[in-house]
Structure 1
């Protein structure tokens, strides 16, 4: 049975198919070289948890109560529209350790071939450029980008370890210096990727990158899935951590949809927001 959801805002309400709902946003057409369209997505509980942290090992995990096939389908549709995806060294370390699944490529499974065709039909490269943001530059390089002919770029800050920058460059990888300290900064990263012709930039990087893109006024849109579940727990991650954002955190609701069936029949909201101009 095809998944359905109810559009609540903007009205009037409408029952609609879930598949294709985010592809209809055509994010790959919204940006330009001078002003790339930068978007992020998160899934959270009603009490604001995006991940829980093991108090002994310190490892983070996505709680099973937040996971659903419907949310994952929309995630894949956002991925399919990207000229480039920004990930981080922590994800690659977790991937190598078997703690997370590989989501670095588009349309490589039988169930997602339609997204590969969508990219071809809409003039995008078979795979988005993969940008790895890292301050330490200490991460393993997975083999899947090379197997799929995917361009890989490493992004770091000026104070990152010089010997590791040299090592990655010697291995044939492009390294961008896009931050005054050790970490990547939002404006330099978005501006440099735009200069390289990457017009739609999907952030798969977590709270720190969201923070710097908001503070630098480079975030174009935030997608948020809210699972109707309270998680609790004393050790967790939320969407942001750090100093108050002030006016940089002002967002306006663009659309809100209700999925009554998932996860586990509790329901969830799919919303997207855009920053309000200062």
Structure 2
């Protein structure tokens, strides 16, 4: 049976199908090469945790029951609309260590073949380009992008280690300097990707990238799943970590849906927001 959810806003309340709900947003058509549409997604608990951190090792983990199958389906629908994924070196290190699953491709499993067909029907490349943001440039390159024919670009700051920049370029990878320090800055990164013809950019990253995108006024849309549970924990990650954003953090609610079935029967909200105009 196809999963259903209740659309609460904009109203009036109406039951809708979950499959296809985010594909209907057609994000790949909303951006342009001159002004790419940049979007991010997070899953959080009611007390604002997106992950828990082991104080002894510093390793992060997703708590059991925070992510559901319905949420993952909508995550994959967001992936399907991207010209480009932005990930980071920390994810690639966790991937190589077996702590996280590989989510760098679209429609490669039998259950998601419909998303591969959707990309083809909508004129998108078989796979999004992959941008790896890293200040240290110290990460393992996974083999899945090469196997699936993905274009890979490495983004770093102007003060990144010169020897590692040279190593990655010698290995045949394009390296962009898009920040005045060691780290990537959101504004220069988006501008550079726009010049390369990318129109829809999905941030598969964490709090630091969200922060720089918000401060640079480059985030177009934020998708947030809120699992109806409290996690607690003394060491954790939230969506942002850093100085106050001020007015740059003002968002307006565009849609709110309620899924009563998951995770674990406690329910979850699916919402998306856009920056409030200045």
Partner of 1:107: 107
Unaligned runs of 5+ in 2: none
**CA displacement at 1:275 relative to structure 2:** 0.3
1:16-42 Cα deviation digits (max 9, x unpaired) = 100000000000000011110000000
* 1:43 match: secondary structure: strand
**CA displacement at 1:67 relative to structure 2:** 1.4
1:201-225 Cα deviation digits (max 9, x unpaired) = 0001100000000100000000000
Question: Which sits farther off after the overlay, 179-188 or 55-64?
Answer: 55-64
What pairs up with 1:43-192 in 2 under 5 angstroms? 43-192=43-192
* 1:253 match: secondary structure: strand
1:80-119 Cα deviation digits (max 9, x unpaired) = 0000000000000000000000000000000000000000
* 1:222 match: secondary structure: strand
1:52-93 Cα deviation digits (max 9, x unpaired) = 001111100111121100000000000000000000000000
* 1:223 match: secondary structure: strand
1:108-155 Cα deviation digits (max 9, x unpaired) = 000000000000000000000000000000000000000001100000
1:202-258 Cα deviation digits (max 9, x unpaired) = 001100000000100000000000000000000000000100000000000000000
Quote the Cα distance in structure 1 between the aligned partners of 2:181 and 2:93: 22
* 2:141 match: secondary structure: coil
Quote the Cα distance in structure 2 between the aligned partners of 1:43 and 1:64: 12
What pairs up with 1:14-53 in 2 under 5 angstroms? 14-53=14-53
**CA displacement at 1:4 relative to structure 2:** 0.5
C-alpha RMSD of the superposition: 0.4
Quote the Cα distance in structure 1 between the aligned partners of 2:166 and 2:226: 42
Unaligned runs of 5+ in 1: none
**CA displacement at 1:277 relative to structure 2:** 1.1
Quote the Cα distance in structure 1 between the aligned partners of 2:226 and 2:145: 31
Quote the Cα distance in structure 1 between the aligned partners of 2:232 and 2:217: 32
Quote the Cα distance in structure 2 between the aligned partners of 1:242 and 1:56: 22
* 1:234 match: secondary structure: coil
Give the paired residue count: 278
TM-score norm. by structure 2 comes to 1.00
Quote the Cα distance in structure 2 between the aligned partners of 1:69 and 1:26: 22
1:154-210 Cα deviation digits (max 9, x unpaired) = 000000000000000000000011000000000000000000000000001100000
Q: Which runs of at least 4 in structure 1 moved beyond 4 Å after TM superposition?
A: none
Quote the Cα distance in structure 1 between the aligned partners of 2:84 and 2:11: 33
* 1:64 match: secondary structure: coil
Quote the Cα distance in structure 2 between the aligned partners of 1:137 and 1:49: 28
* 1:124 match: secondary structure: coil
